[in-house]
Amino acid sequence: MKIVFTGGGTGGHFYPIIAVAQAINKTVKEQRLVAPKLYYLSGSPYNRQMLYENGIEFRRITAGKIRRYFSLKNFFDQIKTAVGILMSFWQLFFIYPDLIFSKGGYLSFPVLVAARLLKIPVFIHESDSDPGRVNLWSAKFARRIALSYPEALQYFPKDKTAVTGNPIRKEIIIPLTVGAREFLNLEPAIPVIFITGGSQGAVAINDTVIDILPDLLNRYQIIHQVGNNNLGDTQKRASVLLREHPHANRYKVFTNLTSDALQMTAGVANLVISRAGSTIFEIAQWGIPSIIIPIPEPISHDQQKNAYTYARSGGAVIIEQSNLTPSILKSEIDRLMQNPSLLEKMKAGAKSFARPDAGEVIAKEIMALALQHEE
């Protein structure tokens, strides 16, 4: 049996793919099946170590972005997409998998075109409440469709669609409290705020946090994930502001947290400040109250709807980026952190939104469809 994964080159696509692969490997072991060969077709491996640890072979393809606005780059990217379709056809012809699992995004488009030409079964997963264009198109010929949000059901054929939630990798699904403060070098008894903009970071959130950092550190400890491209600038600004601050050591800044560090951060955090991507499902699973700051609508068509859908669970409050000022963010943090009864209600709301079995549900359906095709 052979299974191909494909999707955009961000953590929001990559990590759920890893979670599904982990669930497939678990199912194979429990049911004593022959282990399938797993492949990942995308523009980059994103994290080679995780691919290796989960038995996934990377195959490179190319694709052009599908922009929603006029740009001369669209012309050249159409050429890249055409090349990507030929590359994908070549790869799939020789792999000839029993099923393709797609997370959508422009990098999955060439693979899905080739899959349709070769009549290979497709299973798609949509992470957002407002689906992307590639998933809407591929839904026409996909065998199964899994959704993270029930609000997305209206866009897909109901006879082959189910709401499963978003798969979460096994390494971070359960928060770890024992030894977490020692591992992260945190002070005892001081509340912890975890700030993240997702795998790419978020400059607007980072800048606003830095502006109020001296005041926050008088009452809280901050674990700040700033993304791969933002560490240097954030550290420089923070070092100037905190040069003589008595609690400068309460600020911990990282590009991206390792799985261990993320699991321990989840174990000690009292509040999370985040974008509205796939991280929402991790926050819900951890049962941590949150402030969600979605990417503005002109930039991302889906995050605002994701944010408000999650907020209806009671697990989060929303600050629109257009309203994001240092004073508003500081005021909202203090309002939540100084209200223990509200935080408890938000924890319950977050947990009610969680779907910890999403990966296993999807993996079992993938295996069933792949076995049908293999036979």
pLDDT of residue 168: 97
C-alpha closest to that of 222 among 329, 321, 339: 329
pLDDT-derived band at 78 (thresholds 50, 70, 90) equals confident
Say if residues 257 and 273 touch (Cβ distance below 8 Å). no
What does the pLDDT look like over 258-291, one tens digit per residue? 999 999 999 999 999 999 999 999 999 999 999 9
Answer whether 141's CB lies under 8 Å from 120's CB. Answer: no
| Model pTM score | 0.92
Residues 313 and 370 in one domain: no
Give me the chain's average pLDDT, please. 93
Classify residue 171 by its DSSP letter: T
Residue span of the structural domain in which 317 resides? 180-353
φ/ψ of 333, rounded to 5, equals -60, -50
Q: Are residues 225 and 343 in the same domain?
A: yes
Give Cα separations from 257 to 55, 143, 199, 211, 339 (angstroms): 22, 36, 9, 23, 28
Encoded tokens for 85: 């379709």
Is residue 333 one of the residues assigned to a domain? yes
> Does a structural domain hold residue 175?
no
pLDDT at 348 over 90: yes
Assess if residue 174 is contained within a domain.
Answer: no
Contact (CB, 8 A) for 230 and 239: no
What's the confidence (pLDDT) of residue 57?
98
Judge if 281 and 300 occupy the same domain.
Answer: yes
User: Residue 306: which H helix or E strand, with range?
Assistant: helix 303-311
Q: Are residues 204 and 293 in the same domain?
A: yes
Domain count for the chain, please give it.
Answer: 2
Number of Cβ within a 10 Å radius of residue 15: 25
Is residue 75's pLDDT more than 80? no
Q: Taking phi first (over 0 means left), then psi (-120 to 50 degrees means alpha), and beta for anything else, what does residue 46 get?
A: left
Average pLDDT over every residue of 8-25? 93
pLDDT at 190 over 80: yes
Which has the minimum average pLDDT: 19-23, 197-201, 337-341, 360-364?
197-201
Q: Residue 138: what pLDDT?
A: 98
∠ CA 242-290-211 to the nearest 5 degrees?
25
Q: Are residues 154 and 237 in the same domain?
A: no
Q: How confident is the model at residue 202 (pLDDT cuts 50, 70, 90)?
A: confident
Does a structural domain hold residue 173? no
Domain CATH number, residue 188 = 3.40.50.2000
| Sheet strands side by side (includes 2-6) | 56-60, 37-42, 2-6, 99-102, 122-126, 144-147, 161-163
My answer on whether 103 and 20 are in the same domain is yes
Asked if 349 and 365 sit in the same domain, the reply is no
191 and 328 share one domain: yes
Check: CB of residue 314 under 8 Å from CB of residue 348. Answer: yes
Does 360 lie in the same domain as 258?
Answer: no
- Domain shared by 337 and 360, yes or no: no
Contacts 24+ apart (CB under 8 A), 154-162: 155/131, 156/126, 156/131, 162/361
pLDDT at 347: 98
Render pLDDT for 228-256 as a digit per residue (tens, 0 to 9).
Answer: 888 889 999 999 999 999 999 999 999 99
Residues near 203 by Cβ (< 8 Å), separated by ≥ 6? 197, 230
Q: Are 27 and 47 in the same domain?
A: yes
pLDDT of residue 345: 98
Please give the average per-residue pLDDT across 307-326, as a whole number.
Answer: 96
pLDDT above 90 covers what percent of the chain?
86
Residue from 52, 62, 64 nearest 88 by CA: 62
